[in-house]
Amino acid sequence: MIPTPTVLLTAEQVEQIHQASLEILAQVGVKVHNAKARKLFAAHGCSVESESNGVKFPPSMVEDLIQAIPPTVTLHGRDPQYDRTLPDDGPLFSTGSSAPNVIDRETGRERRSLSVDIAQIAYLINELPGYDVFTIATTADDAPAGQFTLSRVYPALRHCLKPIIVSAPDLDEAPALVRFGGLVAGSEAAYRQRPFITFASSPLISPLTLDDEGTETYIWLVEQQMPCFPVSAPIAGLTAPVSLLGALAVCNAEFLTMGVLTQAVRRGAPLIYAVTPAVVDMRTGAFASGAIESGMFMMGCAQMARYYHVPSAGWIGQTNAKVNDAQSGFETGMLSLAAMLAGTDLLATGGLLDALMAFDFGKAVTDNEIAQMLKRLKRGYAPGASELALDVIAAVGPGGAYIDTDHTWERMKTTLLIPEVADRDNRHAWQEKGALDAHTRTMQQAQTILEDAHPPVFSPELDEQIRKTFPGIVAGQLSE
């Protein structure tokens, strides 16, 4: 394993960010549009200004409550073999989330994504070994009223046994999701023991604002002991200072706000330091999630998370490219690598183009390989005298060959990743095979996986029960 994470901040600067965040919370405060949250904050010693809904936080109270956040978080899969605990099992790799669109596999054109796309993506992610978690990558445009989240979770769980993350539902729909989990698990008690749907919540509106409905739902989910973590999405230059230290101070103040709220609702409730960090493109005002500074922002967040002993997650490596091209490759590869080396525990990176606007099947396959490269790097140099191989070096001698030694044959599969996307043929062999670029090859790989699909479907009885319990629910099928 890599001995220590990469740091961008000195220990002194980490302390400075912490103190600055406390100062922001004490003197600038947070605007809290939800009454229940204001009441909770007040009960814990915050001052609440009734006219502006401004809440100010005593530093000692913040420091006390955030110490109650547990240092680990477990994400459950429907199949327990896929359970993963942060940070110990990290880095975990996941899809990015909630793109409204998909690049159609047949036409290559962007269109609104449907529940059937989610079924296909879920199965693909289930089969790709680089992914640990399926964060539901798109919305479902065919969701019936009141079933916006159910229409995403049903096709996802029906085709993927790995842990599922989905954006938190409306409060109206939230109880239905617990009921749904209970049906799938066999009983609500069984589901509550191993809740395999984790919610990513967005009560935060940068800078320093909690909305009404999202906050209400968040509180309900924490009360219900449903796994849930809020995501902060500040944009340096728009909703946070353009300077990275200033942006991190705002972002960290937002994390502390949610830490306080979470522990005020239920002391000891788990939390993840989760961020979609970005900077603005000053020429156009665009959300530059693929910018190197977005990666640097994430690296700072990972360092702060470690300071608080809280697992970290980042929607990171989200390229601005519109196609799975060189830009997509270097933005996703560089930003996710930077985040991983800085110690980010969960990387919600895979599959999306155009700053989280569209899912692309070829990109998801490409990112599966990036994930495996990140994990290989994280494993580091294998230690030990037999790895140093002094006897082998002596036996081979100057000018000798290592290819046919036992040492090589024993270690080649554990030392070297065998890539499926990266082509290592010489040009002639590559031409003989059709001179295909990486995107074309990954689309073929996706096609092969989806054609061969023997999806881990629900039993007909379970499907029937789900459709009876939730009338009008989407089909949840892999294909029509």
Residue 442 binds to a second copy (criterion: CB under 8 A): yes
Angle (nearest 5°) at CA 283 between 317 and 357: 40
Min CB(302)–a second copy separation in Å: 13
Strand 235-236 and strand 278-281: the pairing is parallel
How many whole angstroms separate alpha carbon 171 and alpha carbon 218? 9
Under rule CB under 8 A, residue 326 binds a second copy: yes
CA distances from 12 to 9, 245, 307, 471 (A): 8, 13, 12, 57
CA distance 363 to 365: 5
Kindly state whether residue 161 participates in binding a second copy, applying the rule CB under 8 A.
no
For the CB of residue 389, give the shortest distance to a second copy in the complex, in Å.
3
From candidates 185, 219, 305, 321, binder to a second copy by CB under 8 A: 321
Q: How far is the CB of 391 from a second copy (least distance, A)?
A: 10
Give 74's strand partners.
Answer: 85
Site for a second copy in 191-230 (CB under 8 A): 205, 207-209
Torsion angles phi and psi, residue 106, rounded to 5: -80, -50
**Residue closer to a second copy, measured from CB, 95 or 149:** 95
Ranges within 108-127 binding a second copy (CB under 8 A) = 110
Q: Quote the least distance from Cβ 321 to a second copy, whole Å.
A: 7
Q: Which is nearer to a second copy, 210 or 269 (CB)?
A: 210
- Total residues interacting with a second copy, rule: CB under 8 A: 129
Sheet containing 47-49, strands listed edge to edge, beginning at the edge strand earlier in sequence: 47-49, 54-56, 30-32, 209-210, 204-205
User: Segment contacting a second copy (CB under 8 A): 88-96, 121-129, 172-180, 434-442?
Assistant: 434-442
Stretch that binds a second copy, among 117-125, 145-153, 225-233, 289-297 (CB under 8 A): 289-297
Among residues 407, 463, 475, 477, the one that binds a second copy under rule CB under 8 A: 407
State CA 65 to chain mean position distance: 25
Distance, in Å, from the CA atom of 177 to the CA atom of 180, rounded to the nearest integer, reads 5
Residue 127 or 293 with smaller CB distance to a second copy: 293
Among 65, 121, 137, 240, binds a second copy (CB under 8 A): 240
In one-letter notation, the amino acid at residue 402 is Y
Tell me whether residue 254 or residue 453 sits nearer to a second copy (CB atom).
254
CB of 350 to a second copy, least distance (A): 12
Q: Which of residues 389, 449, 457, 475 is near a second copy by CB under 8 A?
A: 389
Element (H, E) at 376: helix 361-379
Asked if 232 and 206 count as a contact pair (C-beta separation under 8 A), the reply is yes
Site for a second copy, residues 351 to 370, rule: CB under 8 A: 354-355, 357-358, 363, 366, 369-370
Return the range that interacts with a second copy (CB under 8 A); candidates 114-122, 134-142, 195-203, 385-393.
Answer: 385-393
CB of 347 to a second copy, least distance (A): 13
Tell me whether residue 81 or residue 107 sits nearer to a second copy (CB atom): 107
Pick out residues in 68-107 that bind a second copy (CB under 8 A): none
Interacting positions 253-282 with a second copy (CB under 8 A): 279-282
| Among the listed residues 320, 344, 349, 445, the single contact to a second copy using CB under 8 A | 320
Q: Under rule CB under 8 A, which residues in 15-74 are in contact with a second copy?
A: 16-17, 20, 23-24, 27-31, 54
- Euclidean distance between CA atoms 31 and 269, whole angstroms: 23
Coil/strand/helix, residue 225: coil
Cβ partners under 8 Å of residue 98, min gap 6: 136, 137, 138, 139, 167, 356
Residue type, 467: R
* CA gap 36, 17 in Å, rounded: 29
- Kindly report the length of the chain: 480
From 249, 271, 274, 313, residue interacting with a second copy (rule: CB under 8 A)? 249
In whole angstroms, the minimum distance from the beta carbon of 114 to a second copy comes to 19
From residue 304, give the alpha-carbon distance in Å to each of 3, 73, 244, 358. Answer: 18, 17, 13, 30
